[in-house]
Structures are given as C-alpha cells and as structure tokens.
A and B are shown apart, each in its own frame.
Chain A
C-alpha cells in the first residue's frame, strides 16, 4: 500500500497548497490543483485535513497572561511611582 503522497504531481502541488488555501495562488494554479484533486483521493484528504487543521488553530482561544503580570511589570520597570 502506498501510504505517502509520493507521486510526482502530488509532490509538485503540495508546495502550493498553503497559497491555495490562503487564496493566494494564481488562477491557473488553482485550476490545476482542483483538476488534480478531482482525481487524487490522497491529495483531497491532505487538503481537507489541512484546511481543518488551520480552522482548528485559528479558533483556539489564545492563552491569557496571568492577571497580576501588569502590576509586576509596572513595578519592575519602576513605572508605578509618580514622576519626581
């Protein structure tokens, strides 16, 4: 069984998939990719799961700094005292 995307066309198109998903690929390249995806199940899976991956991390809640960080920062930088 061929468990990796290894065909020549697949490899060639792989490098353009980010541009394609970001809407930054030229029209001709998009058409080429879509033609290939219609026939290549492996690449279709890669594109679908790549898109889903991007969606997942872009909707991940960002980590918040600890609430007390501001006070500690202002103190460490001596910004919590009035100007002389």
Chain B
C-alpha cells in the first residue's frame, strides 16, 4: 500500500558517479574552465530550485546561484569531500539564501529555529477525506498553483529540509549535512512539513469536494 509513492527523481546519473566527481574536482582545482562549466551544467538547476524555493524571487535566486558557484570555485580547496559536491553546493546556496532572508526580515526570521519549530507543531485539524475527488481536479493549473503557494509558505525552518529531501531527492543524511542538522532533526522537520502541507491543501480540496457535492 505504501509502495505506490514515487521517489523524488531529480538526480541525474552523473550526480551519482563518484569517480566522475573526483576527476571533475581535480580538474576544477587545476583551474580547468571547462570543468567549472561542466559543474555548473550539472548542478546549477538544483541550486537554482533550492534558492527559488527559499527566496521566492527568480532574479534573486539567480543571484544566489551566481554567488554559490563563485564562492564554491574560490574555496574548492577547502572542500574535503566528506559530502558529495552537490550537497556542498546546496549548503553554500542555503547559507546565501538564509543571509538574504535575514537581511530582509531581521525581526521575523528567528535566529534560533527551534522557536519557530515549536509554533509549527502540527495537530491535524482538517478531517475531511478529499481523496475521493476525481483525478482531473488534482491536475488543474489552480490545484498546482495552490500546491506551489503552499510550499512557498512553508515555515522557513521546515522549507529547506522539505525541498532538499522531498523535491531534490537528497537522502536524510545528505539533507542533514547540507543544512547542518542532525538526522533525527531532519526527520522531524520533514514530517512536520508534510503535515503542514496536508493541512494547508485540505482547506482547498475540502472546499472543492464540498462544492461538487452540493452540485450533485
């Protein structure tokens, strides 16, 4: 019953090839510009998606991508290879995004994420079963927008965990490395993010289901 959930599938084969990554790193360290471009081709889309989900603005997301690679190539010698290259790049991008968020809203973004985390403790309130809706109701542009908006409104301490683990397909361990969290903390935050999204989407889909019931 639980097997029907598809795994996140954004990882390309090159991203999983350790030998290729080793060679790529050596070439970047040797100052090979083609290798840098290859690295960008391989990783910029993922870095862009994380940045976009974090800051919400495409232009700013692009700035973060630029900052990330600039920073990465500059400090590539300090990369010890304890994580994969992509995890390391996500980490740099995440920190760059966080810095921008904190500059913009120093009062709203808590320095201690645990405070926010407690506030988002999630007890299910929406208890209408909207799974019965016809499949086409889930595939409309409106439904997709609703989902996009819900993801963009995920509380900040949950959002990066959610994006890396669920949308980018990183493992729990890689997500923990990228965000400097413990494995158990990643699991807790992911679970809360899912419950939060369920609650949020339930509002929209329940209304949709009730409207169609009234019509029939």
| Residues of A that sit less than 8 Å from B by CB | 3-6, 11, 14-15, 17-23, 42, 44-46, 48-60, 62-66, 69-70, 72-74, 76-77, 79, 83
Contact = CB atoms under 8 A, between A and B. Distances in A.
Interface residues of B, number: 53
Contacts of A22: 2, 5
B144 interface: yes
Closest 5 interchain pairs by CB?
Answer: A18-B191, A65-B48, A53-B198, A45-B129, A5-B124
A79 B37 contact: yes
B8 interface: yes
Q: Give the interface SS of chain A, mostly helix, strand, loop or mixed.
A: helix
B160 interface: no
Contact of B6 (A17, A20, A45, A58): A58
Interface of B: 2-8, 10, 31, 33, 36-37, 40-41, 44-45, 48-49, 52, 58, 62, 65-66, 69-70, 73, 123-131, 138, 143-144, 147-148, 151, 166-167, 187, 190-191, 194-195, 197-198, 201-202, 205
Nearest to B138: A56
B127 A5 contact: yes
Contact of A49 (B8, B130, B147, B167): B130
8 contacts: A5-B123, A17-B191, A58-B6, A59-B6, A63-B48, A65-B48, A65-B49, A69-B48
A33 to B, nearest CB: 11
A20 to B, nearest CB: 7
